Structure 1
Amino acid sequence: MKQTITRLLFASHLAAASLSLTSCDNLLEPTPAQQLPADKAITDAGSARAAAIGAYDQVQAYYRLNWPVLGFLPGENVRFNGTLNQFLQIDQNQLSADNVLITEAWTQMYQAVNSANNLIAALPGISDPLLPAAEKNQLLGEVHFLRALVYFDLGRGWGGVPLVLTPTRTKENGQGLRRSTLAQTYDQVLADLTQAETLLPDGATRNRAVKATARALRARLHLYRQQWAPAETYATQVIASSNYRLVTPYRAFSTAPFLSQESVFELSFSNSDANTMWNNWFPSALGGQFNFQPVPAAIAQLNDPAVGGTRSALLASTVIAGANVTYGNLYSRSAQRDDPSYVLRLAEQYLIRAEARARLGKLTDAIADLNAVRARAGLSPTAATTADQLLLAIENERKIEFAFESDRWFDLVRSGRAGEVLGVTDQRRWLFPIPFNDLVADRDLEQNPGY
């Protein structure tokens, strides 16, 4: 049963020492379940560390399946090969407010927000000799980053959303909180990233936030806000760090044991905490369900030496009933089930900076950044020379570079080209619907137009 904002934000997630909520039969009268007293939840070094891991776990929950699907399936690289209506709606850009994936993603994201809120509220008051100031600051910086990531994703998915910035522990806490504007939502993302960058240490940790992690997301945020100069500045800071480099061959960034030097931030899984995304991509002969299929045009582009280059490694093939079947191979660890979710890669920072520089008229520098990504894929330099040619070349490079990641749909929406490229001319459909259950539970919550 799906949860609403009101219900999901106030019961205890005991394993992570952070608060979330189980569902109940009456949407309008939720009852707390397994509630943990606020003064007992996060009180010492051990519970603070557990709460931080819990916050990562909540982010991991929506990146495990729902968020990547909402990023790649509405685009043109992938089709849904099945009959489940919730996936078909996304594939056909015909979402409804009761779509299961939309509801799950929204719910999981606000659970992640609340996990962060609980730790942000509790950490300053903890006095434990086993939790030194440096570690306390680091944990605080990590959850500010995580809250920024979630609100950034909520903003680009739904537009302005309710900004919940304090722990929600009773059924009354989540009601009556109206939606902020998109600008206000992104302002909160910036505030959290600014705080995170101040608190986080330098370092090369790739599955927990460090300063460069916050800077990389900030570069992406400025790109979405069309703030070209700071987008260039923050991408440059990440690119200039000796902790990161583009790895070759292309497939190396997604090869076990993962955490390659190209990875700025990824979410780790293990056999006991499995990522089963591979199951949606592999054909049945290989133990999968083959729910997501690269479309013929994407297969042709990835296999074209002049377009895909070594990124053809994103594809694999097998013979089924005498026919050659091609499938997506980004998530391939069917036995170990430990494929990470890729959130921030250095290749994106190069393409962010390339786009920002092209917008600023720095065409030579923009071409150099684009060519860095192309060279890693074994491609010749771009033939683009004008600003318009270069911007289209960057867009197309992103389409191939992040073919099966949560990128393409949001790229076309932020650039205003979803209508031209995908035929989604009703711009009201460029945002996802607020889940129906949440609208029922909170009369002050307004639906996006067109739903």
Structure 2
Amino acid sequence: MKATFSIVLSILFLTSCQSFLDVKPKESISDAVTITDKTSAETAVRGVYSALASGNYYGTNFQAIGYLSGDNVEWTGSQSIVQEFINHKVNADNGMVSGVWIAIYQTINRANNVLAKVNDVADPALTTALKNQYLGEAYFVRALAYFDLARVWGGVPLITKPTVTPADNRGIARSSTAETYAQVLKDLDAAESLLPATTDRYRATQKTVWALKARYYLYQKDWVKAEEYASKLIGDATNYTLLKPYRNFFADNARGTQESIFEIFYNGTTEINAHRGQWQPQTNGGTRQWAPNTALVTLLNDASVGGNRSVLVAKDNQNRWYGNLYYRNPGSDPSYVLRIAEQYLIRSEARTQQNKLTAALSDLNAVRDRAGLPAVTAATSEAVLLAIENERRVEFALEPHRWFDLVRTGRAATVLGVTDPKRYVLPLPVDQLLVDKALVQNEGY
């Protein structure tokens, strides 16, 4: 799990974090190198975000697990490892599974490096406020990483110290799923206490923590807390709002809009978001190796369901449908991690579970109104929950939510026909099992 700090993020427009991210690529720095001053501390934190952006994490493959495993996407290529996700018969030697596992732990390792070393730096330029910010950012990214690991694999080894040599941190047994989620909350609490309550769409702040906490509590079925934290973002209408029409948060090279709570920046040169290559057709320089399936195309083009979200799909010169969320050439599309629309739907679901149906419908209908759709008038909790499920399917059609939503709500069997609960998590990569005998495979694999 050895990783390197690669300084490759670059921001090309004015934001509050421009000076931090607007740097030229430099020679990689080993994780083993001590953080000695403000400059090297900044380098290390940039490395954390760079790992988060990698092709095997939010750059493509982790997100692909979330939507390929659902019912919105079809595989048009020939690689069986991708079809395994669609068929829900993933093998332990699947290369994507291995790549995602390694990428997430590399991200954790970079965060651990910051957490282990920044506090000890004695550079007057690295003020207490900056130290707290850097530490808070590392805690947030580590929380996100463990949250994603838990969603994909269940309980995993909890590594909280830097890995410098291949033998470091080997032999750590898997924690339970509950313990893994407990680590997520512990890191989010630490991040919340350290970060400023500012608005930044590319770096973690208290507000970013609140958004992930809302999602965390939704997964934990803590409806009161989920509503509380989603309300913090929704109440900040000056900085976060649903843009009309739907296309405005991503089309015409938009980035960093008021729709976005946290997105990952790619400059299209030194760091490329490979998503567009998978979605776009050959005429646009892509491979269209995965595409919206017939069911999703029908939903998005149904004016009573998709509304103005039909912009997510388009036809190529061979009359084939393709996904159009990622379209910038050669690959400067952001990866959308947290959006305000999700907070509305989190709060709607949490309120429904508390039998606050009028308030729940208000949140659901805010998202529908943005999409140009009439209000839902469901009268029972069951009907509202189904409406929310259906809304999430089209609102996040090409984002990594559908599979995880159906698993967390216990609906995967009914909707997808995946009746074996052992298939609700993926197998640990076989290459990890071979090098670390402390790891135990998920049951059923």
TM range (shorter): over 0.9
Structure-1 separation of matches of 2:347 and 2:429: 35
| 2:285 corresponds to 1:290 | no
Q: Which residue of 2 aligns with 1:147?
A: 142
Q: Which residue of 1 aligns with 2:4?
A: 13
Q: How many residues align?
A: 421
Q: Which residue of 2 aligns with 1:4?
A: none
| 2:210 corresponds to 1:215 | yes
Q: Shift of residue 161 of structure 1?
A: 0.6
Out of 416, 435, 444, the position equivalent to 2:438 is 444
Which amino acid in the other structure matches residue 248 of structure 2?
Answer: A
Q: Which residue of 1 aligns with 2:19?
A: none
Out of 26, 37, 44, the position equivalent to 2:37 is 44
Q: Following superposition of structure 1 onto structure 2, how do residues 60-71 of structure 1 map, counting pairs within 5 Å?
A: 60-61=53-54, 62-71=57-66
Q: Shift of residue 178 of structure 1?
A: 0.7
Deviation per CA, 1:338-375: give whole Å up to 9, x if none. Answer: 10111000000000000000001111100000000000
Q: Shift of residue 274 of structure 1?
A: 1.2
| 2:47 corresponds to 1:54 | yes
Task: Name segments (4+ residues, structure 1) moved above 4 Å.
Answer: 34-38
| 2:289 corresponds to 1:269 | no
Q: Which residue of 2 aligns with 1:232?
A: 227
Q: Following superposition of structure 1 onto structure 2, how do residues 396-415 of structure 1 map, counting pairs within 5 Å?
A: 396-415=390-409
Structure-1 separation of matches of 2:199 and 2:161: 30
**Would the aligned equivalents of 2:65 and 2:400 in 1 still touch at CA under 8 Å?**
yes
Deviation per CA, 1:245-285: give whole Å up to 9, x if none. Answer: 11111011113240010100000001211112111111222
Structure-1 separation of matches of 2:247 and 2:174: 41
List runs of 5+ in structure 1 lacking aligned partners.
1-7, 18-33
**Would the aligned equivalents of 1:16 and 1:52 in 2 still touch at CA under 8 Å?**
no
Which amino acid in the other structure matches residue 332 of structure 2?
Answer: D
Q: Secondary structure at the match of 1:205?
A: coil
Task: Call closer, same or farther: CA 1:382–1:89 in 2, change over 3 Å.
Answer: same
List runs of 5+ in structure 2 lacking aligned partners.
9-27
Structure-2 separation of matches of 1:85 and 1:180: 31
After superposition, the CA RMSD in angstroms is 1.5
Q: Which residue of 2 aligns with 1:394?
A: 388
Deviation per CA, 1:411-435: give whole Å up to 9, x if none. Answer: 0010111111111111101101100
Which amino acid in the other structure matches residue 155 of structure 2?
Answer: G
**Would the aligned equivalents of 1:249 and 1:376 in 2 still touch at CA under 8 Å?**
yes
Out of 178, 192, 198, the position equivalent to 1:203 is 198
**Would the aligned equivalents of 1:51 and 1:119 in 2 still touch at CA under 8 Å?**
yes
Q: Shift of residue 132 of structure 1?
A: 1.2
Q: Which residue of 2 aligns with 1:122?
A: 117
Which amino acid in the other structure matches residue 57 of structure 1?
Answer: S
Deviation per CA, 1:218-267: give whole Å up to 9, x if none. Answer: 00000001111000000001111131111111011113240010100000
Q: Which residue of 2 aligns with 1:248?
A: 244
TM-score by length of 2: 0.92
TM-score by length of 1: 0.91
Structure-2 separation of matches of 1:83 and 1:171: 34
Q: Shift of residue 35 of structure 1?
A: 9.2
Q: Shift of residue 41 of structure 1?
A: 2.4
Q: Following superposition of structure 1 onto structure 2, how do residues 260-409 of structure 1 map, counting pairs within 5 Å?
A: 260-272=257-269, 273-320=271-318, 324-335=319-330, 337-409=331-403
Q: Following superposition of structure 1 onto structure 2, how do residues 125-136 of structure 1 map, counting pairs within 5 Å?
A: 125-136=120-131
Out of 147, 151, 159, the position equivalent to 1:156 is 151
**Would the aligned equivalents of 1:16 and 1:55 in 2 still touch at CA under 8 Å?**
no
**Would the aligned equivalents of 1:269 and 1:275 in 2 still touch at CA under 8 Å?**
yes
Q: Following superposition of structure 1 onto structure 2, how do residues 99-110 of structure 1 map, counting pairs within 5 Å?
A: 99-110=94-105
Task: Call closer, same or farther: CA 1:77–1:15 in 2, change over 3 Å.
Answer: closer
**Would the aligned equivalents of 2:5 and 2:43 in 1 still touch at CA under 8 Å?**
no
Q: Secondary structure at the match of 2:338?
A: strand
Q: Shift of residue 37 of structure 1?
A: 8.2
Q: Following superposition of structure 1 onto structure 2, how do residues 86-105 of structure 1 map, counting pairs within 5 Å?
A: 86-105=81-100
